[in-house]
């Protein structure tokens, strides 16, 4: 994609992602955040984080399905913005909701499964945020970096579980998030299975050295594609 | 022994430090409040349709006042759990207009000598009084509301409960045209309608149990359970069923809506109890709307000295 198109796309992601935060800040200043502001702020931040995380998880499936390259260029930005919202969400929980009642919060993390998985998702995303720079990709090497960043799937599943388990009976919004996550993971799984079959077919070629060469070449191509996309 | 005494003090609410109690001059007296509400009504505000509600005269019962500051009318009427309208807290206020509260009748029946269907106008002629109660939601937030109503026992005495009557069951109106939240959604019904709740007969006859027709000097806004609801201040809010069409005296413990939906989370008794956690959160603290800092939750929501004796010998962890 042309440089200009890429800039516009990224600017649009920035604006759209920070919009909910702007609305919250405006509501805070106008004292117009429902009767239970802390609860409202916590929920809005968490929901935005989950939307961004699922959107970042949706970029690769878009490439798989439509062979577009532009979604990959937004993946890291979306992931980092999701991480940012999760951090603010967590800070509000600590500082405003529980006012640094560490013992009580610690008990909650251990006793309440929905909080446990939420904290776990945050913890998993920390190394990913740290290693999100170009320099880190080079330092770790493409293959190892990609392996590490598969943790984002785990974080996505934990994030949706967090939402499902905290919602009371009758609330259906979390189901839609679970469905979206399921579809995104299914596309990945389908693609993975397809590639595996293809590489197996290669390995069954009569001449093993050639087969190996082709497989290695395919792998190199795939990883360089990934690196270029970043 | 010391622990026992400590618990007793907690039951009576004596463990509340004086600093937690609002100074008398700080809480609005009713007259000042009504003057304030009138000023608000005159102000050109787009979201105050509630001000067109009919005023309701009721003497303030001095036995049921609180040192706590009242929760604002706006907050009381805009932050509601009322699944009949929708599962979001803003849904009831947003969608309340579809509920029509006239004509309205309430059947009082079951194990009683003189079952009777009361018209709402008849219910409004009971001896009404204003009482300020704390409301503690099971979701760990709370409000302080000036309700208008009369004790349920005044109503039950009229129908003469028989010796068979051991429980009371409350039933909310089912009408998906008036209550959009009762329509079937993509994932089924939000709850198994109708919404039913229940009390043991002694709880129902308790002087605190209030049949409610108004708040803040007006008839009940639709989103607060118009035209006729029950308010049980020492139990979590969901026990106080709204928009009632039937009150039934029964021999068996009635099935209750939230208990059917999630039995491990909501029991039949549902007394406010800071020592018994909801499976997904602690009940030790609560947020008084719209405060930011949490405060300690009181045993039986601070009504221990009036109601604790009804539960002597009961394991409140088991009968949550």
pLDDT, tens digit (0-9, with 9 covering 90-100), for A122-133: 999 999 999 999
A176 Cβ partners below 8 Å, 6+ apart?
none
* pLDDT higher than threshold 60 for residue A38: yes
Distances (CA, A) of B42 to A43, B34, B38, B52, B94: 35, 12, 6, 11, 22
> What would the two tokens of residue B211 be?
């049949």
Interface test with A, best of B70, B75, B294 (most A CBs within 10 A): B294
Position B31 scores a pLDDT of 44
Residue in chain B nearest A99 by alpha carbon = B293
- Contact: B83, A170; criterion CB under 8 Å: yes
Structurally, how many domains does chain B consist of? 1
Position B251 scores a pLDDT of 98
Position B36 scores a pLDDT of 45
Q: Rg for chain A (alpha carbons), in Å?
A: 21
CA atoms within 13 A on the CB side of A58: 13
Position A203 scores a pLDDT of 74
Establish if B185 touches chain A: CB-CB under 8 angstroms.
yes
pLDDT one-digit tens code per residue, A138-152: 999 989 999 999 999
> What would the two tokens of residue B31 be?
């007259």
Out of A35, A114, A171, the one facing B280 most closely (by C-beta) is A114
Mean pLDDT of the region A202-226? 53
CA atoms within 13 A on the CB side of B178: 14
Report the b/e string of B247-272 with b at 16+ CB within 10 A. bbbbeeebebbbbebeeebbbbbbbb
Chain A residues with CB-CB distance to B190 below 8 A: 169-170
Mean pLDDT of the region A103-124? 95
Chain A residues with a Cβ under 8 Å from any Cβ in chain B: 34-39, 96-99, 104, 107-108, 111-112, 114, 165-166, 168-172, 175
Establish if B166 touches chain A: CB-CB under 8 angstroms.
no
Establish if B313 touches chain A: CB-CB under 8 angstroms.
no
Establish if B21 touches chain A: CB-CB under 8 angstroms.
no
pLDDT lower than 50: segments of chain B: 1-2, 19, 22-50
Q: What is the ipTM of this complex?
A: 0.80
CA atoms within 13 A on the CB side of A215: 17
Distances (CA, A) of A204 to A169, A196, A220: 52, 12, 20
Q: What percent of chain A has pLDDT over 90?
A: 79
Give me the CATH number covering residue B294: 3.90.420.10
- Average pLDDT over chain B reads 89
- Contact: A172, B284; criterion CB under 8 Å: no
CA distance, residue A47 to nearest chain B CA (Å): 14
- Contact: A170, B261; criterion CB under 8 Å: yes
Position B201 scores a pLDDT of 98
Chain A residues with CB-CB distance to B280 below 8 A: 112, 114, 165-166
Specify the 3-state DSSP secondary structure of A87: helix
CA distance, residue B190 to nearest chain A CA (Å): 4
Out of B74, B191, B289, the one facing A170 most closely (by C-beta) is B191
Under 8 Å between Cβ of B242 and B82: yes
Please state whether beta strands B285-288 and B141-151 pair in parallel, antiparallel, or not at all (unpaired).
Answer: parallel
φ, ψ for residue B82 (rounded to 5)?
Answer: -150, 85
To which residue do tokens 């191509």 refer?
A221
Mean pLDDT of the region A31-37? 91
Closest of A183, A215, A178, A186 to residue A200, by C-alpha: A215
Under 8 Å between Cβ of A223 and A143: yes
Specify the 3-state DSSP secondary structure of B227: coil
Please state whether beta strands B229-231 and B210-215 pair in parallel, antiparallel, or not at all (unpaired).
Answer: antiparallel
Under 8 Å between Cβ of B288 and B134: no
Q: What percent of chain A has pLDDT over 70?
A: 88
pLDDT one-digit tens code per residue, B190-203: 999 999 999 999 99
Closest of A83, A67, A73 to residue A13, by C-alpha: A73
CA dihedral A153, A156, A160, A161 (to 10 degrees): 60
- Contact: B280, A36; criterion CB under 8 Å: no
Position B6 scores a pLDDT of 58
Chain A residues with CB-CB distance to B293 below 8 A: 99
φ, ψ for residue A198 (rounded to 5)?
Answer: -60, -45
Chain A residues with CB-CB distance to B292 below 8 A: 37-38, 96
CB-CB neighbours of A115 under 10 Å = 20
φ, ψ for residue A114 (rounded to 5)?
Answer: -65, -30
Under 8 Å between Cβ of B123 and B230: no
* pLDDT higher than threshold 80 for residue A214: no
SS (H, E, C) B92-156: HHHHHHHCCCCCCEEEEEECECCCEEEEHHHHCCCCCEEEEEEEECCCCEEEEEEEEEEEHHHHH
Under 8 Å between Cβ of B220 and B130: no
Position A229 scores a pLDDT of 45
Asked, for residue B240, whether it belongs to a domain, the answer is: yes
Specify the 3-state DSSP secondary structure of B218: strand
- Range of lowest pLDDT (A2-6, A154-158, A185-189): A2-6
Asked, for residue B317, whether it belongs to a domain, the answer is: no
Specify the 3-state DSSP secondary structure of A36: coil
Distance of CA A76 to the CA centre of its chain: 9
* pLDDT higher than threshold 60 for residue A213: no
Whether residue B194 is preceded by a cis peptide bond, meaning omega within 30 degrees of 0, is yes
CB-CB neighbours of A41 under 10 Å = 21
φ, ψ for residue B209 (rounded to 5)?
Answer: -70, 115
Return the axis-axis angle of helices A3-29 and A37-66, rounded to nearest 10°: 170
Asked, for residue B320, whether it belongs to a domain, the answer is: no
Query: How many Å apart are CA B262 and CA B33, to the nearest integer?
Result: 40
Asked, for residue B318, whether it belongs to a domain, the answer is: no
Query: How many Å apart are CA A202 and CA B72, to the nearest integer?
Result: 72
* pLDDT higher than threshold 90 for residue A61: yes
CB-CB neighbours of A12 under 10 Å = 11
Domain membership of residue B191 as a residue range: 2-311
Closest of A111, A149, A143 to residue A220, by C-alpha: A143
Distance of CA B305 to the CA centre of its chain: 19
- Where is B287: in which H helix or E strand? strand B285-288
């Amino acid at each position: 994609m042309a440089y200009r198109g890429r800039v516009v796309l990224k600017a649009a992601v920035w604006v759209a992602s920070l919009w909910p935060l702007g609305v919250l800040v405006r509501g805070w200043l106008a004292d117009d955040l429902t009767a239970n502001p802390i609860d409202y702020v916590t929920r809005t931040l968490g929901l935005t984080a989950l939307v961004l995380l699922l959107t970042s998880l949706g970029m690769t499936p878009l490439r798989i399905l439509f062979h577009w390259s532009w979604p990959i260029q937004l993946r890291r930005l979306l992931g980092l913005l999701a991480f940012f919202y999760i951090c603010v969400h967590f800070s509000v929980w600590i500082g405003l909701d529980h006012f640094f009642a560490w013992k009580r919060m610690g008990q909650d993390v251990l006793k309440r499964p929905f909080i446990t998985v939420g904290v776990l998702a945050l913890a998993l995303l920390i190394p990913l945020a740290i290693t999100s720079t170009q320099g880190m990709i080079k330092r770790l090497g493409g293959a190892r970096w990609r392996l590490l960043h598969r943790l984002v799937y785990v974080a996505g599943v934990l994030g949706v579980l967090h939402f499902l388990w905290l919602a009371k009976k009758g609330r259906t919004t979390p189901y839609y998030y679970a469905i979206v996550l399921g579809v995104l993971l299914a596309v990945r799984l389908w693609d993975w299975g397809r590639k595996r079959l293809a590489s197996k077919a290669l390995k069954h070629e009569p001449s093993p050295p050639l087969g190996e060469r082709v497989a290695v070449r395919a792998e190199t191509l795939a990883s360089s594609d990934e690196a270029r996309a970043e | 022994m010391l622990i026992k005494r400590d618990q007793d003090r907690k039951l009576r609410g004596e463990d509340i430090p004086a600093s937690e109690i609002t100074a008398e001059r700080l809480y609005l007296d009713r007259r000042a409040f009504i003057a304030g509400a009138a000023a608000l009504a005159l102000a050109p505000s787009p979201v105050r349709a509630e001000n067109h509600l009919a005023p309701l005269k009721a003497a303030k019962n001095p036995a049921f006042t609180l040192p706590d500051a009242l929760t604002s009318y706006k907050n009381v009427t805009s932050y509601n759990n009322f699944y009949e309208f929708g599962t979001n807290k803003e849904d009831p206020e947003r969608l309340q207009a579809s509920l029509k509260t006239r004509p309205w009748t309430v059947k009082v029946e079951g194990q009683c000598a003189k079952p009777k269907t009361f018209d709402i106008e008849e219910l409004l002629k009971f001896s009404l009084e204003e009482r300020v109660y704390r409301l503690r939601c099971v979701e760990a937030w709370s409000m302080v509301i000036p309700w208008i109503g009369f004790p349920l026992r005044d109503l039950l005495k009229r129908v003469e409960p028989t010796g068979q009557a051991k429980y009371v069951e409350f039933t909310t109106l089912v009408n998906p045209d008036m209550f959009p939240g009762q329509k079937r959604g993509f994932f089924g019904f939000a709850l198994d309608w109708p919404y039913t709740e229940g009390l043991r007969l002694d709880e129902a006859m308790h002087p605190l149990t209030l049949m409610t027709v108004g708040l803040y000097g007006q008839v009940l806004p639709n989103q607060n359970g118009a035209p006729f609801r029950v308010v049980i201040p020492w139990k979590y809010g969901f026990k106080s069923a709204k928009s009632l069409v039937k009150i039934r005296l029964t021999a068996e413990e009635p099935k209750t809506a939230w208990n059917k939906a999630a039995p491990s989370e909501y029991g039949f008794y549902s007394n406010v109890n800071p020592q018994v956690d909801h499976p997904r959160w602690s009940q030790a603290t609560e947020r008084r709307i719209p405060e930011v800092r949490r405060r300690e939750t009181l045993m039986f929501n601070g009504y221990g000295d009036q109601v604790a004796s009804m539960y002597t010998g009961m394991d409140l962890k088991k009968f949550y």
